[in-house]
Amino acid sequence: MKLRTLLLLVISAGLSLTVCIGCSGANSTGAIEVKDVTEIGIAHTGCYGTCPVYSVTFSADGTVRYDGKIYVERKGQHTGTITSEKFKEVARFVLENGFMGLRDDYSSPVTDNATVITTVVAGGKKKVISDYAHAGPKELAEIERRIDALLSEVKWDERSDGAPKHDK
């Protein structure tokens, strides 16, 4: 009888460990919290026209990495910072609007439009959503808008090539 009890305890402990490993980064209810969000990014691809092409990644520590390609005011690779409060505001909005539960891909049967690729890293998991021709739900459109709006909050560093920063 003692051997059977011991065996059940070992099996139970193993299952608990497996479940715990699987829920890394989430609270006891499995929900992701603002503090679990470590990175938020957005990239805009080109279109048949003058759509701005750039990507930007915001990190929870305030680091900002930007790469402007064409039809943007700020071209090239740039770095800067935002406040942790601004990051948390957007992270909270992203979570409250169900980003992690949205589909990975939205598209429309049209051509020559841009794609917005939104990325959130939370709880050790990376969620990427591709939104071609703004076919996603209104919640996704608002999340994209809020992430893009963070660009106006960036304090830009001097460029690595010594050129002065170009603040708006």
pLDDT, averaged across the chain:
84
CA distances from 74 to 13, 40, 55, 62 (A): 54, 20, 11, 19
pTM reported for the whole predicted model: 0.78
Q: Give the count of alpha carbons within 13 A of 133, CB side only.
A: 9
pLDDT of residue 116 exceeding 60: yes
State how far the Cα of 95 lies from the Cα of 93, in Å rounded to an integer.
5
State how far the Cα of 50 lies from the Cα of 112, in Å rounded to an integer.
11
Residue 103 pLDDT: 98
pLDDT of residue 33 exceeding 80: yes
Neighbours of 131 (CB within 10 A): 24
Amino acid at 2: K
Neighbouring residues of 102: CB distance < 8 A, sequence distance ≥ 6: 129, 136, 137, 139, 140
pLDDT of residue 137 exceeding 90: yes
Residue 22 pLDDT: 37
> Using one digit for the tens of pLDDT, what is the confidence trace for 80-105?
999 999 999 999 999 999 999 999 99
Residue 30 pLDDT: 63
Average pLDDT, stretch 7-25? 38
